[in-house]
Structure 1
Amino acid sequence: MTVTDELDEAARADLVERKECKRCRAPAGSPCRTHMGTVATRYHTGRYEGVPGLRSGPPIRIPADRNPGTAWAAGPELPDQAPARPGDRIGYARVSGRSQDVEGQVTALTEAGCVEIYPETISTRHKEREEYPKALAALRANDILTVTRLDRLGRDMIELIVSAQDLEQRGNRLEILSGPLAGMYDPQGPGKILFVMFAAFAEIERDFIRDRTMDGLDTAAAKGKRGGRPRAVDADRLAIALARRAEGESVPSIAERIGIGRSTLYRAMDDHDRAASLAAATDLTTSRSASQ
């Protein structure tokens, strides 16, 4: 839901009437008129197509207090509007896993002058982002949503395009601090096309990184090397742990003695027990087949 979704009919009308209608020539501060010289029942679409959050919604009705259907008369002239305030930077930071550090992004956003920062850790398995809608809600007129890289704005092409549409509805700009797409972008008008292209580039780049990573792992495996973290419980520690367990010592006590976490040791023992059971079952099947 956008900010304009929450406005009542009169507030929507006030937004529309800030500009002259190019179709019926109704001046700013006046409702639209029909060719018969009466107050129209709806504002002409072209009058509010430049109002963020209204151009994509349903037609805007002229409120009853403007007397639709009666003889049209120009409304009072609008006072000169105050100059637009300079926009603040609202930061959004995201990492995909608990092992990743979001603080580096927060630091960069702080140094860029963000007055508010909304960091979150969310994996690709979770569809709903909690902090991103809060960052959007914090944006006011002329504010800028700032991210360290374009791929922090979304986890795939669809999410990036939806994010661009969110900004376009609000009339806000996007600032990217680093990467090949660093700069300030306006998602309205031609910027919409740029956003789609940027989203495609970001997804293609992630695919390239994924492919290079898999190629590297395949090459390492061919040389007898395995990627990933070293095993927390090596063969020697597991042998010691199994011997202590056989003597009746509890797993928590064993874990403390050999200096590893309880859950890690439980998993290692479970894996060992399953492998041993499978090996025993295989041996039993083989011996039965040989005796027949």
Structure 2
Amino acid sequence: MLIGYMRVSKADGSQVLDMQRDALLAAGICAEHIYQDLASGSLDARPGLINCLKALRAGDTLLVWKLDRLGRNLRHLINTVHELTSKGVGFQVLTGHGASINTRTPEGQLVFGIFAALAEFERALISERTKVGLASARARGRNGGGQYKMTSAKLRLAMAAMGQKETVVSDLCKELGVTRQTLYRHLGPDGVLRQDGQKLLER
């Protein structure tokens, strides 16, 4: 069975789903098998996508209009498609830069493998920059007064580190010289800025 998913970034009517819906229907998907969200791709809560993923069964194929309609970011996209593949579900992109992706074909698997490699490369670069930044901060010394204060430099390092699955929060706090409470006052567990963090970067 073919199942479609579509999304626009705003729910105020300034963007419409017509183009995506027409493309999915033209690809042979029944209207009742198309799921949708009217929300930013950066939002975790996307009920349409959640219901879509629940509906998929082994042998089905998920179709999207463009690659950026599915994932919040590259890592989320890669993880989602890997999860689909492990369940025997195919994934196909109809247009745009990812139009060569169809995990039901060897060529499409190769293209998606390149995307996955780029995501891993990006994670490695962020991890390396984080380690270098922390080492540089240690070299300048952070002992003495004010060691629990969050700075914009520490915050940027924390944002990069919190996006890595392997990051241990207690170790990160120790490296930055801040308490866990201070860290979470500025950032969420996924590295997303909170109000205090936003204010700090805007100073």
TM-score scaled to structure 2, two decimals? 0.49
**Which has the higher Rg, Structure 1 or Structure 2?**
1
Looking at secondary structure, tell me which structure has more helix per residue: 2
Greater relative CO, 1 or 2 (CA 8 Å, sep 6+) = 2
TM-score scaled to structure 1, two decimals? 0.35
